[in-house]
Amino acid sequence: MDIIGPLLDHQAATFLKEMAVMK
């Protein structure tokens, strides 16, 4: 489960960036 942690963090960061750009 060591791989899923950073992966989710990256997805969350990318998602937040996308939302910031949308606004």
Per-residue pLDDT of the chain (23 residues), as tens digits, is 578 888 899 999 999 999 999 87
Look at residue 1 in the predicted model and tell me its pLDDT.
57
First and final C-alpha spacing in the chain: 33
Q: Residue 22's pLDDT is what?
A: 82
- pLDDT for res 16: 93
Distance CA 23, CA 8 (A): 22
